[in-house]
Amino acid sequence: MNRLLIFGGGFVGSNLACLAQRQGWEVTIADYFYRPGLDTVQWKTVDITQAEGVAEIFTDVQPQAVVNVAAIANIDQAEQDKDLAWKVNVDGARLLAENCAVRRAKYIFFSSDAVFDGQGQGYTEEDVSAPVNYYGVTKAEAEKAVLSACPTAVVIRISLVLGFPVTGGNSFFSALEGKLKEGKDVPCPPGEIRTPVDVLTLSECVLELARSDFSGRLHIGATDSLSRYELTQKVARSLGYDETLIKLQDSAAGQAGRAPRHQNGIICVTKAQRLLATKLLSTDEGIRRAIQERI
């Protein structure tokens, strides 16, 4: 049986673990703390910035494939605590890459469209990084560190992931539904465009890549892009809530404690469409799948 080691047991990691088990993988999740809700996999507690603890887990699990979704992913938190963001997002990613290289395990690292400045559109894997916030800086630097330490690694860039968590974590759907249930207005910035992907299709892509010989950067997302405002309206409608609660705010810029955002997260997924057998969906298809096939 192939052994999969997932660092980060939140929204994406927990869904990936469930799908991997269905495909016959023996799954271990390593996280900073235990998250209840997924007791069918082995859990290990680890700080990915600590070399001894990481090496011990690799020795115990002996994985054929490793996926790293552990990160300081809150853009505002990364801006406010840059030392922690660098330690986790860059140093931790490098440490896992080094261990994979030594043990010849397939390494899949999650990056972001935040590595781009968001002034263009249709960003390809070859376009130059130019992040506008510190989170994007850490991801851009982590990509280089990972591919330097482990040239056979895969760097997946995503824009926004759709779906519900199994164990908790940062889920756009869950946060939105919580507000809508309470009848609260949901403000959305007008200019932020994203290329979302549902968590199940994303997980299928990851598991396909884990069994492949591909290495390098790859963009995974929907076959279309749309504004966060339009996306939030679509999701609210699909969940059965009043879409008039979705409000177009005047501007997201200048809000206290809010880091700058890249505007156009329009990533080109042509390379992934050519490479992968897994079919990439439209945004509408992805929303439906995330709701109807919720784990």
pLDDT digits (tens, 9 = 90+) for 161-183: 999 999 877 899 999 999 999 99
Q: Point out which residues pair with 45 in neighbouring strands.
A: 31
What local confidence, expressed as pLDDT, does residue 130 receive? 97
Percent of the chain with pLDDT over 70: 97
Q: Please count the other Cβ atoms lying within 10 Å of the Cβ belonging to residue 45.
A: 11
Structural domains in the chain, CATH included, are 3-179+190-226+260-292 (3.40.50.720)
Residue 252 has pLDDT above 60, yes or no: no
Q: Please count the other Cβ atoms lying within 10 Å of the Cβ belonging to residue 284.
A: 13
Average pLDDT value over all residues in the chain:
95
Residue 251 has pLDDT above 70, yes or no: no
Q: How far apart are CA 99 and CA 116, in angstroms?
A: 28
Taking a C-beta distance cutoff of 8 angstroms, is the pair 237, 175 a contact? no
From residue 167, alpha-carbon distances to 8, 14, 43, 105, 247 in Å are 11, 6, 12, 26, 29
Give 253's pLDDT tier (boundaries 50, 70, 90).
Answer: very low
What local confidence, expressed as pLDDT, does residue 256 receive? 64
